[in-house]
Amino acid sequence: MKIIDLDPENEKLYFLCLEDWSDELKEAGNLKECWYQGMKDKGLRVKLALDDKGVVGGMIQYIPVEHSSAEGNDLFFILCIWVHGYKQGRGDFTKRGMGKALLFAAEEDVKDLGKKGIIAWGLCLPFFMRASWFKRHGYKVVDKDGIKRLLWKPFSEDAIPPSWIKQNKKPLKTPGKVKISTFINGWCPAMNLAHERAKRASTGFDDKVQVEVYNTFNRELMKEWGISDALFIDGKSVRTGPPPSYEKIRRRIEKRVKKLN
């Protein structure tokens, strides 16, 4: 196994989170690439894990905390760590130690940058980005937000624990309209997919549907709302993980439109 920094040869693969075989993920458009172009000069770090044959099987991406959905100082924030686990495409690379190797490489990199610690987010449920996995690697929970946990590993005694930027308001309804409010940061193709499907599902209703897009790459806007990526229909949150299908979103909008009549 070998850990390398992202190079131009693998950028397109990175934009699709290693799922270049997935037609579904391609629905997310170029939002991840646009996000990357905006973040690459703001401290974004990306590392890839290669197997003994040189095939990319895992990735980790992390950014300075001041560009993340958490508050902190002299820290880096892990957006995601992902090892390809599907039989399709490049195949299943899980249970080979790639995740652990990527995490260790990121930690050493952040130390070399002179930062005081590294943060990760995790879920208390047993799927993607499990908080329990980070705990096994020495991370401690410092904040909670629903099923999300904020974990960290400090590298110095004077490191200050981070905290979540939590939601402090939500979109309001618009009288006489069905209002679609989508908050999009761009870093995650899964969230980008929900955003693109919601926009597409909102068309064809004449003037009965209003769409508002909040670009939370603007961190001040993200802090104003306390929201990074989310989808609302008439002020009610729509679960976006895993991304809802186009048909499901369309049915929800149609149901709301009928209630206008």
Q: Which CATH number fits the domain 178-260, given the four candidates 2.60.120.10, 3.40.30.10, 3.30.470.20, 3.65.10.10?
A: 3.40.30.10
pLDDT at position 125, please?
A: 83
Do 118 and 62 meet the contact criterion of CB atoms below 8 Å apart? yes
8-34 pLDDT, tens digit per residue, is 999 999 999 999 999 988 899 999 999
Domain boundaries along the sequence of the chain: 2-164, 178-260
Q: What is the dihedral angle through the alpha carbons of 8, 14, 18, 24, rounded to the nearest 10 degrees?
A: -120
The model's pTM is 0.94
What pLDDT, in 10s, does the model give residues 211-255? 999 999 999 999 999 999 999 999 999 999 889 999 999 999 999
The set of residues, in sequence order, having a beta carbon less than 8 Å from that of 255 and lying 6+ positions away, is: none
Q: Which residues contact 193 (CB under 8 A, 6 or more apart)?
A: 24, 25, 27, 28, 243
Q: Do 93 and 58 contact (CB within 8 A), yes or no?
A: yes
CATH number belonging to domain 2-164: 3.40.630.30
168 alpha-carbon distance from chain centroid: 20
